[in-house]
Amino acid sequence: MNLYLFDMDNTILDVNHVHFPAYERMYEEVFNVKEGLRPPKNGERTTHSIIRHTLKDSVPGEKIESQMEEAINHMAHLYYSRVSPLFVHANMPNVLDTLNSKGIVALFTGGARKITNIILKKTNLYDKFSHISTCDDAPTRAGIVKHAIERCSLGRKFDKIFVIGDAPEDMRAAKANSAIGVGVAMNVYTKEELLKAGADIAIDSWEDTESVMEQLK
């Protein structure tokens, strides 16, 4: 049996246009500062690390930590009113249903659990994943992937583990866990960039279910 481990943002759906205003409003309404999203350049891009990195010069560290939960709840509220099934990449639900008939399908993300659950429920994708690992489970992308693999294994050995993501760090997390890296070139990175980052397979559309199944077998 195979394990299919999907990243969320830009891999199964496009939600960047909600991320930016959600971070901006949260910084202003929770911490009283005007900032953008500003992810760390070479660091881990998780909800927690983005907040810490962005506010490090304008808000004391203890205040960031003591208000972290409030900050995430505040953002979750904004996502709840703005996320729609229209954000899901074309034919993605069908691909997930087909993979579910062939193996275990799970999700990993650098996003916080509360926000991830809202996005997946509002896009009708929540029930398509047997397991979800987030930045609440481990601080690094490779660690989040490892956590998901362990939780899905339950003592069995998978024939193949596919780590499917849109960013070079997803491909590095695949390699760190001896998995097959599948680069999804749809929103940000090109096939060439993902192959250079270590992708074993690169795809640029979910629309042809048969061709996707041919590549993920």
Asked if residue 9 binds Mg ion (CB under 5 A), the reply is yes
The residues in 166-185 that bind Mg ion, with binding defined as CB under 5 A, are 166
Pick the closer one to Mg ion by CB: 9 or 44. Answer: 9
**Least gap, CB of 215 to Mg ion (angstroms):** 19
* DSSP bridge partners of 103: 2
**Least gap, CB of 108 to Mg ion (angstroms):** 10
Asked if residue 133 binds Mg ion (CB under 5 A), the reply is no
**Least gap, CB of 197 to Mg ion (angstroms):** 13
Pick the closer one to Mg ion by CB: 19 or 31. Answer: 19
Dihedral angle over CA of 144, 147, 152, 153, nearest 10: 130
**Least gap, CB of 31 to Mg ion (angstroms):** 25
Q: Which two tokens stand for residue 190?
A: 């090109």
H or E segment to which residue 4 belongs: strand 2-7
* DSSP bridge partners of 105: 4
Pick the closer one to Mg ion by CB: 54 or 170. Answer: 170
**Least gap, CB of 173 to Mg ion (angstroms):** 11
Q: Which long-range contacts (CB under 8 A, 24 or more apart) does 126-134 make?
A: 128/93, 128/96, 128/97, 128/100, 129/6, 129/96, 129/105, 130/104, 130/105, 130/106, 131/104, 131/106, 131/107, 132/106, 132/107, 132/108, 133/106, 133/107, 133/108, 133/109, 134/108, 134/109, 134/110
**One of 10, 54, 134, 177 touching Mg ion (CB under 5 A):** 10
Q: What is the DSSP letter of 44?
A: -
Asked if residue 47 binds Mg ion (CB under 5 A), the reply is no
* Residue labelled with tokens 């993605």: 92
Select from 6-14, 63-71, 111-119, 201-209 the region that touches Mg ion (CB under 5 A): 6-14
Asked if residue 44 binds Mg ion (CB under 5 A), the reply is no
**One of 6, 7, 76, 152 touching Mg ion (CB under 5 A):** 7
The residues in 139-168 that bind Mg ion, with binding defined as CB under 5 A, are 166
**Least gap, CB of 156 to Mg ion (angstroms):** 27
Q: What is the DSSP letter of 213?
A: H
Chain contacts with Mg ion (rule: CB under 5 A): 7, 9-10, 166
